[in-house]
Amino acid sequence: MSRVALVTGGTRGIGEAICTKLKLKGYTVVANYGGNDLAAEAFTERTGIPAIKFDVSDFEATKAAIEQIAQDFGPVEILVNNAGITRDGTMHRMTFEQWNDVIQTNLTSCFNTSRAVIDGMRERGFGRIVNVGSVNGQAGQYGQVNYASAKSGIHGFTKALAQEGAAKGVTVNAVAPGYVDTDMVRAVPADVLEKIIATIPVGRLGKPEDIARTVEFLVSDNADFITGSTLSVNGGQHMY
């Protein structure tokens, strides 16, 4: 029986690329999504991967959904925390809601999902958790105090949980993408995007597949001696 992998925010962009890569590698993949039913339906039609709707920022809803996934597909042995949103704005204009929505969805979700799977992983002596951070959590970014804080928090969360899981066969790592060609980045004005690309030494935006390949390696048996690491996949934009 193939290992079950849950990818949050898995129906679009980087999440879809991760789901597709893991399915091709023989995993039983389940994608989570938060709100876009049409995109989720189209994703399942394209990939054959089931998409399950629940709010990763809601502890009880996440716990219930992961319990149902275990009943329907098997226990989650691979968890990829990819769900994330932006609510950009400078601090003097940022509302509490903008702050809280990003922290809850991007960071608290990692606790919610990991808490729901960690006991089973420890009992079975195997687990892979990969958290998707960001170059902006490493370097900071103007107008993204909330987003940078959440992503930086993910990097610290990764290192601490890795220490707890290591003796039980559970590895915990992070991937920190740079600017990747997704809907979120395409929404950046063209002149601004051109300036961003000029700061990337390899001279291009990342591709979702660049991130997916990194995740695929980290969840594999070949990466069992790697834990607590953050792999920067940013084309050399920020060397951390």
What's the length of the chain?
Answer: 240
* Nearest alpha-carbon partner for 202 in 174, 179, 229, 230: 179
- From the list 33, 147, 179, 240, the catalytic residue is 147
Question: How many CA atoms within 13 Å lie on the side-chain side of 204?
Answer: 6
Exposure string of 162-198, with b = 16+ CB inside 10 Å and e = fewer, is beebeeeebbbbbbbbbbbbbeebeeeeeeebeeeee
Residue with tokens 């792999």: 231
CA 86 to chain centre: 14
**Which helix or strand (DSSP H or E) is residue 132 part of?**
strand 127-132
Alpha-carbon distance of 141 to 144, in angstroms, equals: 6
Alpha-carbon distance of 14 to 215, in angstroms, equals: 10
Is residue 147 among the annotated active site residues? yes
Helix spans in the chain (H): 13-24, 37-47, 59-73, 96-102, 109-124, 135-139, 145-165, 183-186, 190-198, 208-218
Residues forming the active site: 147
